[in-house]
Structure 1
């Protein structure tokens, strides 16, 4: 049996299974936290930003994601997100987070805002129709 735990990275378009993870460091609404092998069951929602994990060889790997659901049980860590970027270079993944993911998040916010305005206008017009005599 290998040491450490298994990390399952899952997005809408990609799945990676990484074995032999010694530790994981992330951040949720309460602040930074770490996960080591053998930890009790745990579930949280990661904040937008960077997380990292270390393999048995001591090398750190970095993840950028626009938030994620994270669960840990039986030495299996599942990270489910809409999209993630992974790199061994913290600087490079930070730049991707600030550029590519930030632009995607801004575009998604714009789409959500447009849908909200459309919904508001639809309800306003339905309300007007409801007041017309038949």
Structure 2
């Protein structure tokens, strides 16, 4: 008995390998392995490198950007993820994942900064508008936001 691994993204079937002896992945609880005959399993896997091999063969790799792993019938393992890149060079795949994570962090920081700027501008605009209302004296509050 052997395993079949299918890795798909919304745009393509990235990988289909048959005759595998084992598969290794990682979820929130840590790393785990799958062998032929494994019980059915459904788990969310972290962004990282999926490892798989044939009997007596070397490990092969596929970098994934998180996803859902499903093992069924003790033979079929499917991974549905946002992005997947198969490759033979583990160090290169891990470096690519690290670059992607850093780029995502930078984008999130920029987005948070822009959100704060827009929020402050909205508050300033509201305060100026309210300051013009008859009988309103909000000058101290407006100055705090300028």
1:103 to partner: Cα distance: 5.0
What is the count of residue pairs matched by the alignment?
A: 119
Partner of 1:105: 104
- Which consecutive unaligned segments of at least 5 residues does structure 2 have? 127-146
TM-score (norm 1): 0.73
Question: For the pair shown, which has the larger CA radius of gyration, 1 or 2?
Answer: 2
Pick the structure with more strand per residue. Answer: 1
Q: Contact conserved, 1:66 with 1:105, CA < 8 A, in 2? A: no
TM-score (norm 2): 0.67
Partner of 1:89: 89
Q: CA RMSD in A?
A: 2.7
Per-residue CA deviations over 1:10-61 (Å, capped at 9, x if unaligned) read 0122212211111111111111110001111011111122221112351211
Q: How does 1:1-134 map to 2 (within 5 A)?
A: 3-15=1-13, 16-74=15-73, 75-99=75-99, 101-103=100-102, 105-106=104-105, 109=108, 117=115
- Moved >6 Å (runs of 4+): none
| Equivalent-residue separation in structure 2 for 1:108 and 1:78 (angstroms) | 30
Rate the CA distance shift 1:106–1:40 in 2: closer, same or farther, 3 A. same
Partner of 2:130: none
| Equivalent-residue separation in structure 1 for 2:87 and 2:112 (angstroms) | 32
Rate the CA distance shift 1:108–1:53 in 2: closer, same or farther, 3 A. farther
Per-residue CA deviations over 1:54-91 (Å, capped at 9, x if unaligned) read 12351211122221100000111010100012111111
